[in-house]
Structure 1
Amino acid sequence: MSDIYIGLMSGTSLDAMDAAAVHFPGKSPTLLAHHSTEWPNKLKQKIQQLCQPGHDEIRLLAEVDPAIAYVAAETVNALLNKAGLSADQIKAIGSHGQTIRHIPESGYTLQVGDPNILAEQTGITVIADFRRRDMAAGGQGAPLVPAFHRAVFTSETGHRVIVNIGGISNISILPAENGEQKPVTGFDTGPGNLLMDYWCQQQWGQPYDKDGFHAAREPHDPILLETMLSDPFFRLPAPKSTGRELFNPAWLNAMLEGFRGLSPSTIQATLCRLTARCIADAVQQHAPDTDEVFTCGGGANNNTLMAMLKEEMPGIKLGSTSELGVDPQWVEAIAFAWLARQNMLQLPGNLPAVTGASGLRLLGGCYYP
């Protein structure tokens, strides 16, 4: 078992640094072990601060960049200990880093967490900075996981959509292999858990809405929902990507002007419905012949969100990637292990039809221990 890679992922939700040790014996990856490290509160606050324009950002970045790398190294070393693996058994670490700025309209994205420190602290080759090469080729630099979804989840006979619901939601449209040879496409559909998490923290002091409890207490407000859906992002053509730069507390507060009389649960229900609606609209518009939708990411555990998504997509089978043999909580971390493997094998990691890049590209820089 020599083909082992580690994937590291921390998304826009900022809930934890996730690490997955993955073996690639064939088409389907085998998850050997996983480990998560919650962000220290002070570091999490600094990361959130960096995600928005502010004072003396370079000094703050100088604190955050290495701090993230040390958390990443701690997570990898804990994973190795849990799995009974040594550093020399790992081919490479695929480190996504933490996105602090994503401005595709300016051709710019930045993920931090110094890969030099990560390589030094683990003794393992690190592949990092995956997104900027795609951007250099004219792409959005995101989403990158559809290439992994195509490799692992494509069906011979059915048209599938994989929906990743992290802080931001994105879809991968996977045409059946034995049908008309259409390209795999995908894009960010809009907010996933990010706004729901923020509102839950503000109103109830809870990190997230477990099982969609608060969202299930009241019906959503259709007028507020339409107000949110009026944002120009939802009308942009694909390829498109987004993040905290757009969907953030300031965006939500602006949307709530004139709706302050609504109960907190009604607003939470509306945010939940927003996530479901923008996913369903994207599927119906771009993949109307879809047979099956499989979800992954933290949102796959939100029962209320899944029920709303089912309502929004009647007649389409809805499940999670667990039915396809991959734990929905670990799909993204596994994807970055796969992207590291693509780099080490000198194979492309992007899909131009997804990102808008001018062609296939080898993604990521290599940092040796």
Structure 2
Amino acid sequence: MKTVKVLGLMSGTSLDGLDLAYCHIWKTPTGWDFDLKETLSIPYSTTLKEKLKNAIFLPAEELLQFHNSYGTWLGKQSKEFIDAHNLEVDFIGSHGHTTHHQPQKGFTFQIGSGQHLANESGTKVICDFRTNDVALGGQGAPLVPIGDRLFFGQYDFCLNLGGISNISFEREGERFAYDIGLANMILNHITQKTNLDYDKDGAIARTGSVNQQMLETLNHLEFYKLPFPKSIGFEWFVEKVIPIVDATQDSMKNLLHTCIHHICDQISTQVELQKNKTNNTLFVTGGGALNGFLMETLQEKLTDKTRVIQPSKTLVEFKEALVFALMAALRQEVANNCLRSVTGAKRDSSGGVIFFPA
């Protein structure tokens, strides 16, 4: 396989913004490799962030209109990025933005129309990576583990801390992965009550103390008892988590401090359950990896038996966009990019729909 030049697009549940990663990807005799050439993160305006956050409540007609207009917006950002850096792009791999995720009911939906994106950018687009897996009985999530296996397989565990935390690992030649639970989504919900986008480096959380009742309530959420494969979406957060946070009368610093302990409790519990040797490495990416207090708390709970490894800031921030570029490259080759061992689907599959600019 020749080197393919792919622009990966990612918008996550933490609603930080749109991540763009221009990558060169190629197959080697032993696996796959990449070169992350150019990156850009475009913060969402307050209006767009609120619209994305509340898209789950839109009537069908308005949701489909937003699906198309957001696809056009993605195409505009892509074209400006390509033109600004004079990039040669074979195709765009776009995750879109998840508005609805209920695999137990047989559906998942990522807005950002591939046809509108392709038309606006003038570039071939591969997107909608989750639907086929759900149609095969899978969770349609998490999808990043294919990148963990092909790009970062030297680590015992790969942890992503976006809006949601998820983990992946190899066992007896198969990749397993699932959503652990909360991450930035709950932290940002708390800070945004005071019009603060996020708690930089966990500085506010560091000054707080644990609200024991809230911690125990969060730690006993039913989702944590379920076997994997399993995944969650914004619906679960709205229904199960927000009521707990909003009913807790305490300072912002204590709420944040408590939630970081909750996040790290759940991660350390899963690592302890899944590890099969004494000394392990945990490769951490996603916005949560930039939260210094969260990382320190996580390392303390894991003890010296599991070493937390943080890559460069660029890889921390753009790993997911890189992986969706890889998923597009695999789809182009009709190679499997969704793993049944991860999602619980009937079989491995090559997910993604291809759109050509009109």
TM range (shorter): over 0.9
Query: Would the aligned equivalents of 1:167 and 1:193 in 2 still touch at CA under 8 Å?
Result: yes
1:277 aligns with 2:277: no
Tell me the secondary structure at the aligned position of residue 237 of structure 2.
coil
User: Normalising by structure 1, what TM-score?
Assistant: 0.90
For residue 218 of structure 1, what is the amino acid of its counterpart?
G
1:329 aligns with 2:317: yes
Query: Would the aligned equivalents of 1:18 and 1:75 in 2 still touch at CA under 8 Å?
Result: no
Could you say which residue in structure 2 is the equivalent of 1:20? Answer: 21
Structure 1 position 37, deviation (Å): 2.0
Unaligned runs of 5+ in 2: none
Among 285, 289, 295, the residue aligned to 1:300: 289
Tell me the secondary structure at the aligned position of residue 271 of structure 2.
helix
1:36 aligns with 2:41: yes
1:127 aligns with 2:126: yes
Query: Would the aligned equivalents of 1:32 and 1:83 in 2 still touch at CA under 8 Å?
Result: no
Structure 1 position 2, deviation (Å): 5.2
* 1:270-305 superposed Cα distances (whole Å, 9 cap, x missing partner): 111121111111111123436100100100100011
> Kindly tell me: are residues 309 and 162 of structure 1, through their superposed partners in 2, closer, same or farther at Cα, counting changes over 3 Å?
same
* 1:119-170 superposed Cα distances (whole Å, 9 cap, x missing partner): 1111211111100111111110000000111001112xxx611110000110
Could you say which residue in structure 2 is the equivalent of 1:287? Answer: 275
For residue 4 of structure 1, what is the amino acid of its counterpart?
K
**After the TM superposition, which residues 196-235 of structure 1 pair with which residues of structure 2 at under 5 Å, given as runs?**
196-202=187-193, 204-235=194-225
Could you say which residue in structure 2 is the equivalent of 1:183? Answer: 174
Structure 1 position 98, deviation (Å): 0.8
**Whole-angstrom CA distance in 1 between matches of 2:13 and 2:213:** 27
Among 138, 160, 164, the residue aligned to 1:164: 160
User: Normalising by structure 2, what TM-score?
Assistant: 0.93
**Whole-angstrom CA distance in 2 between matches of 1:76 and 1:256:** 38
Query: Would the aligned equivalents of 2:146 and 2:339 in 1 still touch at CA under 8 Å?
Result: yes
1:11 aligns with 2:7: no
Query: Would the aligned equivalents of 1:94 and 1:126 in 2 still touch at CA under 8 Å?
Result: yes
Tell me the secondary structure at the aligned position of residue 197 of structure 2.
coil
Could you say which residue in structure 2 is the equivalent of 1:64? Answer: 66
Could you say which residue in structure 1 is the equivalent of 2:97? Answer: 98
Tell me the secondary structure at the aligned position of residue 166 of structure 2.
strand
Structure 1 position 36, deviation (Å): 2.1
Query: Would the aligned equivalents of 1:116 and 1:367 in 2 still touch at CA under 8 Å?
Result: yes
* 1:75-133 superposed Cα distances (whole Å, 9 cap, x missing partner): 21232133321xxx322111111100001211211001111011111121111110011
**Whole-angstrom CA distance in 2 between matches of 1:295 and 1:77:** 31
Query: Would the aligned equivalents of 1:140 and 1:239 in 2 still touch at CA under 8 Å?
Result: yes
Among 307, 317, 338, the residue aligned to 2:326: 338
Unaligned runs of 5+ in 1: 176-180
Query: Would the aligned equivalents of 1:2 and 1:90 in 2 still touch at CA under 8 Å?
Result: no
Tell me the secondary structure at the aligned position of residue 244 of structure 2.
helix
**Whole-angstrom CA distance in 1 between matches of 2:85 and 2:148:** 25
Could you say which residue in structure 1 is the equivalent of 2:79? Answer: 77
